[in-house]
Amino acid sequence: MDCTAGLLRKPWDLPFVAEPEEVSGLRRMLRSHLELWKLSEVTDAAQLCVSELVSNVITHVGPGTPAKLAVSMNGTYLRIEVHDPDARALPTLLDAGSEAEAGRGVAIIDAVADRWGVQLCSDRKVTWCELRTGLSPAQGLSPGVGSSVTRAGGPLCLCGDSFGEPPPVVSSRILSTTIAEEAAIGMIADLLRWLGERGCDVDGALDRAQTHYEAKLAHGADLPTRVKAKS
């Protein structure tokens, strides 16, 4: 019998002050939750990611920075987020050699996690990573979460009030505009596929999305040429 069936893995978060002595307590808290969630197989990797994410805040934002650790399930992936108030200090993956100090923490996250990134908001940034678990899709759902598309709004939404702000997601390697555009198109395609598989009108959804987009631009910006979704 699968003892993880029906287990509720509720998202949780914990405010903390970015100091070296806080790291061990955050690691213990994470381990305790993962034991309750029956995810012991990813505990070591998850603790390492927390250590590096918090250390990144201490090093690049500053000791004493108020921050927050948030942990949740994104489908079958364990998602770990660290929030801090400085949207300017962006973690960057460098080709750090054996003697290099900068970039080593991000390189560790890149090696351990299955995916990671940075979400920029008007008042903070969220550095996140996700670890694949051995759960089935049904087992991995958090309460009230129907599918991975629930989190799709995270990297796509603008957290600020101005539509003209830069997009909040900075890729793991600070992608060029062209590559970032392709990544966004891929995400849109995934969402459209999700809608289509559930019998929704994909073309209608595209038209409504275009209408919302143009309504936001109507505040004064010139409207770009509309791209037709169908011939």
SS3 of 76-121: CEEEEEEEECCCCCCCCCCCCCCCCCCCHHHHHHHHHCCEEEEEEC
Query: How many other C-beta atoms are found inside a 10 Å radius of the C-beta of residue 10?
Result: 13
Q: What is the pLDDT of residue 69?
A: 97
- Per the prediction, the chain carries an average pLDDT of 75
* DSSP conformational letter for 20: G
3-class state of residue 18 by DSSP? strand
Among residues 48, 77, 52, 57, the alpha carbon closest in space to that of 15 is found at 57
Inform me whether the pLDDT recorded for 17 exceeds 70: yes
For residue 141, what pLDDT band results from cuts at 50, 70 and 90?
low
Q: According to the model, what pLDDT value does residue 208 have?
A: 87
Which whole number is the average pLDDT over 80-94?
81
**19, 58 Cβ separation under 8 angstroms:** yes
pLDDT band at 135 (very low <50, low <70, confident <90, very high): confident
Q: Is the pLDDT of residue 122 over 60?
A: yes
Distance in angstroms (rounded) separating the CA atoms of residues 51 and 23: 6
- Pinpoint the alpha helices (H) of the chain: 23-36, 43-60, 104-112, 137-140, 153-156, 177-197, 202-217
CB 76 within 8 A of CB 137: yes
> What is the average pLDDT across 60-74?
94
CB-based contact 109:89 (threshold 8 Å) = no
C-beta atoms surrounding 146 within 10 Å: 8
**Amino acid 5: pLDDT:** 52
Q: What is the pLDDT of residue 106?
A: 84
Percent of residues, the chain, with pLDDT higher than 70: 64
List, in order, residues 6 or more apart from 67 with CB less than 8 Å away. Answer: 15, 16, 17, 18, 54, 57, 82, 83, 84, 85
Note the pTM of the prediction, 2 decimals.
0.60
* Per-residue buried b or exposed e for 210-224, using 16+ beta carbons within 10 Å of the residue's own CB: eeeeeeeeeeeeeee
* Residue 88 pLDDT level (bands cut at 50, 70, 90): confident
Amino acid at 78: L
- What span, in angstroms and rounded, lies between the C-alpha atoms of 53 and 147? 26
Which of 12-21, 43-52, 123-132, 207-216 comes out lowest in average pLDDT?
207-216
DSSP secondary-structure letter at 151? G
Q: What pLDDT, on a 0 to 100 scale, did the predictor assign at position 107?
A: 87
Q: Which residues contact 162 (CB under 8 A, 6 or more apart)?
A: none
Overall residue count recorded for the chain in this entry:
231
